[in-house]
Amino acid sequence: MSTAWQYTTRGRLSTTIKQVSKPIPNPKADEVVVKVKAAALNPVENQIAQSPDVLLNFMGAPPMGTPFVPCWDFSGIIHSVGAGVKDHSAGDEVFGMIPNMTGNGSLQEYVAVSAAAPFVKKPEGLSWTDAAALPLAYGTVYTALINYGRLAFNPHPADVGRRSVLILGGSSGTGSMGIQLAKKMGLKVVTTCSGKNTDFVKKLGADEVIDYTQEHVAQRALHSQYAPYAVVLDCVGGTDLIPHLDHLILNDPVAPQLGIYVTIVGDKTGRDAMGGAITNQQYYYPSQAIRQLRGRLNDYLPSWLPGRSALASRRYACIMLSPSKAMFETIAEFMKTAKEVQIDSVHAYKDAPAAFTRIESGRARGKVVVEVSK
Ligand SMILES: NC(=O)c1ccc[n+]([C@@H]2O[C@H](COP(=O)([O-])OP(=O)(O)OC[C@H]3O[C@@H](n4cnc5c(N)ncnc54)[C@H](OP(=O)(O)O)[C@@H]3O)[C@@H](O)[C@H]2O)c1
């Protein structure tokens, strides 16, 4: 037998998860079963747990009441493999992500994972907690800066220090990873955080820091020596900077492919509601969906077209991460520059509710991790 943390009622996970016993799963032909060493927490777990049934249905999640084991990020050791699995063996040390909409998450001692899921071998020397903390946040900022931002993971030496990014929320789990990835990519970084986190983001390599509690973020960002930005990466949400996109975003005829505002949250500001691309589908954010559409037209409409500016605007995307094994294979190289993973706190498995209390506070600095087994 083994155990799992799961919930069956809507609400904040710090109050709703309960520990239950369950058999160790047997892998299906295309699955591996992982003995979980660590699981990291992300705001999405609470957002799913508080979604109405209509949204759960839309996302492919079971209706509330069906036992749901939360968490996406994991590190662990492969315990058993299905008959059809060729690339993994029992005993492999792995880490990655379960895109967990079905309730078979990583906050349990043994989890069955599709062999095709985005997980890879753990680099030697990376601790279990650091490995679990990386995938979702790294995958998100990689998707934003490289897939959408069209910046190079390995920049040409001549480009190092030439481009800049603005990261909103530099002390967050995603923002701190975003600063580290941007520095690895040779970018100048301007970031926002509250005053107490200034030294933290500077240590990660931020070149300029804006205290969002004291300063006017848009004005400071617009007048920075590093403006305009190849990417504005929003890890906070809201619309404060939207009126300034024309001036904030790089418009370089030599590199017309660059210049985008990428938000991983969207116009919403509450932490409990689902964010990212899903908000483009919801009727209460039509202006966000139209902004994204107009941003896409920027790529397709020729510059000479009369009335172009009425149709197209600066590129804008409200995104979901699109993780892959190939993306996570780059983590070993990322860590050579990043050196350490920013961990807010590590909690014992028995204290998983306290780990959720921490992430629900909205004040975590870096990642919140649960050590599932020693
Ligand atoms: N679309 C996607 O694929 C995707 C993927 C990952 C995450 N997300 C979303 O991205 C958001 C961030 O996730 P996360 O894991 O990074 O969150 P997190 O680590 O829990 O965020 C907490 C941090 O945010 C900072 N913060 C709060 N308000 C801020 C503001 N107005 N300006 C600057 N910093 C602020 C806090 O710093 P202070 O204490 O200094 O305020 C704290 O360090 C969540 O909404 C999450 O759902 C989306």
Cβ neighbourhood burial of 60 (10 Å; 0-12, 13-18, 19+): exposed
Query: How would DSSP label each residue in 292-303?
Result: HHHHHHHHHS-T
Q: 236 CA distance to ligand 1 centroid (A)?
A: 5
Pick out the chain residues at pLDDT < 50: none
Regarding whether 196 and 116 lie in a shared domain, the answer is no
For residue 206, give the CATH number of its domain: 3.40.50.720
Query: Separation of 38 CA from ligand 1 center, angstroms?
Result: 21
Q: Are residue 171 and residue 295 in the same domain, yes or no?
A: yes
Task: Using only the alpha carbons of the chain, give its radius of gyration.
Answer: 21
Ligand 1 centroid to 177 CA: how many Å? 11
What gap in Å lies between CA 360 and CA 43, rounded to an integer? 7
- The residue nearest atom 44 of ligand 1, judged by CA position, is 43
Q: Which domain holds residue 291?
A: 137-318
Residues 160 and 283 in one domain: yes
Q: How far apart are CA 297 and CA 304, in angstroms?
A: 14
- For residue 95, what pLDDT is reported? 98
- Which ligand 1 atom is the nearest neighbour of the CA of 362? 22
Q: What is the mean pLDDT of the chain?
A: 96
**Å from CA of 339 to ligand 1 middle:** 22
Ligand 1 atom at minimum distance from 171 CA: 43
Both 233 and 291 in a single domain?
Answer: yes
Regarding the beta carbon of 203 and ligand 1, being less than 6 Å apart is answered no
- Considering the domain architecture, whether residues 182 and 151 belong to the same structural domain is answered as yes
Residues 92 and 198 in one domain: no
Query: Model confidence over 315-348: pLDDT tens digits?
Result: 999 999 999 999 999 999 999 999 899 999 999 9
How far away, in angstroms, is 110 Cα from ligand 1 center? Answer: 29
Check pocket membership of 6 for ligand 1, CB cut-off 6 A.
Answer: no
Residue 96 shares a structural domain with residue 210:
no
pLDDT recorded at residue 310: 87
Which amino acid would we find at residue 316? Y
User: How many domains does one find in the chain?
Assistant: 2
Backbone angles phi, psi at 357, to 5 degrees: -55, -40
Pair 283, 165 in one domain: yes
Identify the CA nearest to 222 among candidates 236, 208, 235.
208
Atom of ligand 1 nearest to the CA of 274: 47
| Predicted pLDDT at 281 | 80
Asked if 111 and 70 count as a contact pair (C-beta separation under 8 A), the reply is no
**CA 147 to ligand 1 center in whole angstroms:** 20
- pLDDT, tens only, 178-195: 999 999 999 999 999 999
Amino acid at 121: K
